[in-house]
Chain A
Amino acid sequence: NAGVTQTPKFRVLKTGQSMTLLCAQDMNHEYMYWYRQDPGMGLRLIHYSVGEGTTAKGEVPDGYNVSRLKKQNFLLGLESAAPSQTSVYFCASTHPIAGGGNEQYFGPGTRLTVT
């Protein structure tokens, strides 16, 4: 199993450009998440999905859109990139279990720089 994969691994954008980050998981997980990691800030939740066709906002959703058209894929879109969106983006997935103690499996991250 590949686990959680992210495409691309690195990207440089100019202000105002758009792009889509792709997350794929082969573990048949229901839940998927997008986080961003900034220096000194830890990881913060952008958006999440509890199943195909559903999405919800996390802590820092502004400037991002997401879609979950297939269970195994979770896309994160930037319609008009801004320098404040320079960050490392992580995707994660997990199975729902009673109580919530299930482990989240993380992808390797995407380093995005907006100039």
Chain B
Amino acid sequence: AQTVTQSQPEMSVQEAETVTLSCTYDTSESDYYLFWYKQPPSRQMILVIRQEAYKQQNATENRFSVNFQKAAKSFSLKISDSQLGDAAMYFCAYRSPGGGADGLTFGKGTHLIIQP
């Protein structure tokens, strides 16, 4: 079974600064998908960014980018120019290939605090 580990229960960053959230995973599969989800206090799960394992290029979505190191099984999220609205729980998630039928495996999450 796959496992996802987020080693930082909580992170704090000053507004407008850059922060990196860590995620490592364990799998024997060669092809898979990785996701970062954001959960603000409203509890709604919001997709931030996704990465296909067979793509070497790191995914980017505006101020959010990932550093995907397949050999190291590492998938970190970098948030540039942090904003107050970025304050939330962030979850790293793994999905096996095959159409996505069997759901996501989540890490335990990182609570991101933005200091004004």
A interface list, Cβ under 8 A from B: 31, 33, 35, 40-45, 48, 50, 56, 58-59, 88, 90, 92, 94, 96-104, 106, 108-109
Closest to A9 in B: B43
Question: Cβ of B116 < 8 Å from any Cβ of A?
Answer: no
Count residues of B near A (Cβ-Cβ below 8 Å).
30
Establish whether residues B43 and A43, one from each chain, have CB atoms under 8 Å apart when the complex forms. no
Establish whether residues B50 and A101, one from each chain, have CB atoms under 8 Å apart when the complex forms. yes
Establish whether residues A96 and B99, one from each chain, have CB atoms under 8 Å apart when the complex forms. yes
Establish whether residues B107 and A42, one from each chain, have CB atoms under 8 Å apart when the complex forms. yes
Closest to A40 in B: B108
| Cβ contacts B24-48/A at 8 Å (1 or 0 each) | 0000000111010000001111010
- For chains A and B in complex, what number of residue pairs have CB atoms within 8 angstroms? 77
Candidates A56, A58, A100; contact of B100 at CB < 8 Å: A100
B32 surroundings in chain A (CB, below 8 A):
100
Establish whether residues A48 and B31, one from each chain, have CB atoms under 8 Å apart when the complex forms. no
Given A88-B43, A109-B43, A45-B104 contact (CB < 8 Å): yes
| A–B complex contacts, Cβ < 8 Å, 8 sampled | A40-B9, A42-B106, A42-B108, A50-B101, A97-B99, A99-B52, A100-B96, A104-B103
A106 surroundings in chain B (CB, below 8 A):
44-45
CB distance from B40 to the nearest CB of A (A): 12
B108 surroundings in chain A (CB, below 8 A):
40-42
B61 surroundings in chain A (CB, below 8 A):
none
Establish whether residues A42 and B109, one from each chain, have CB atoms under 8 Å apart when the complex forms. yes
